[in-house]
Copies of this chain bind each other. A is one copy, B any other.
């Protein structure tokens, strides 16, 4: 860093994203991408005629995309904000709803970005330990006076909180915002989106990076009361009004409209997840109950760091977090059946030479 860095920026805690190798020689099971290409409707929407219009700005209100999202969830466009990935929307939410004396609470083991964004805005962050079995106890958050952020399903565990638990948090203190990050909800968890009409203090964020096969398009959105969405727009227009580009607006709307393709992809991931859990358990792994497009697993014979390194040496990328409580685990994205079979074979080989 330079001598010009402000003390505020010095306090930042930058997030380390999973490796994104520039070549494609790895089986990539480390950043929870979909193994499927985008919907054919997305490919159709990205026409040459649209590319020729890139000299014009995108619609800063993201109206057509917000309308497609709203239709899908039976809400109004005033209940939707779209952004450059859900990471951006989460950052807007941290700025909009937190500040001095009004921090954020989240789990000790959860998406690392909450920590980074709290630090970016100089917020007090309360890290609430998950139970020994990595489940989240909503009781721990009941009386927290700031914003509560819950990833549901959680990452990297894949485990869920019940909607009734979220409801308790929302009702306990109607003056407090509860953010439910549903990046992985489409792979088998129960969504809180139906609660948006009921609770003014609920914000649900989702992403098109996982279940909609658009990680490279950078499209996320949030659903909430008209007032919460207006607050987020206030921050967005102070930061970067044109945050979603023209082609991503089109891709996102097309993906949202192709419900059939979406369901077939999610079904396939859930089937392959069941196969993968069984395969790992048969090989001596403990696997946390996952409702996401990844599993969090530990081997009874290979420590997490070693497993990560050996798999990488042999062409398979998984994610390992060198962090207390989870150092023994690796997070494995559910890829295609073929990719998971290759993983199982490689694990067999690694275990056989121990």
Q: Which residues in A have some Cβ–Cβ distance to B below 8 Å?
A: 1-9, 12-17, 20, 22, 28, 31, 33-38, 42-43, 46, 48, 51-61, 63-64, 84-85, 87-88, 91, 95-100, 102, 116-117, 119-121, 175-177, 200-201, 209, 213-218, 225, 227-228, 230-231, 233-248, 251
Q: Tell me whether A51 and B43 are in contact (CB under 8 A).
A: yes
Q: Tell me whether B242 and A17 are in contact (CB under 8 A).
A: yes
Residues in chain B near residue A14, CB distance under 8 A: 233-238
Q: Tell me whether A12 and B54 are in contact (CB under 8 A).
A: no
Q: Tell me whether A243 and B218 are in contact (CB under 8 A).
A: yes
Q: Tell me whether A234 and B9 are in contact (CB under 8 A).
A: yes
Tell me the number of copies of this protein: 2
Indicate the member of A1, A35, A56, A216 with the most B CB atoms within 10 Å.
A216
Nearest-CB distance from A18 to chain B (Å)? 8
Residues in chain B near residue A7, CB distance under 8 A: 99-100
Indicate the member of A37, A55, A119, A217 with the most B CB atoms within 10 Å.
A55
Q: Tell me whether A245 and B245 are in contact (CB under 8 A).
A: yes
Q: Tell me whether A52 and B38 are in contact (CB under 8 A).
A: yes
Nearest-CB distance from A98 to chain B (Å)? 6
Known: A38-B54, A217-B247. 6 other contacts (CB 8 A): A4-B176, A5-B97, A8-B95, A17-B60, A43-B48, A117-B238
Q: Tell me whether B245 and A217 are in contact (CB under 8 A).
A: yes
Q: Tell me whether A51 and B60 are in contact (CB under 8 A).
A: no
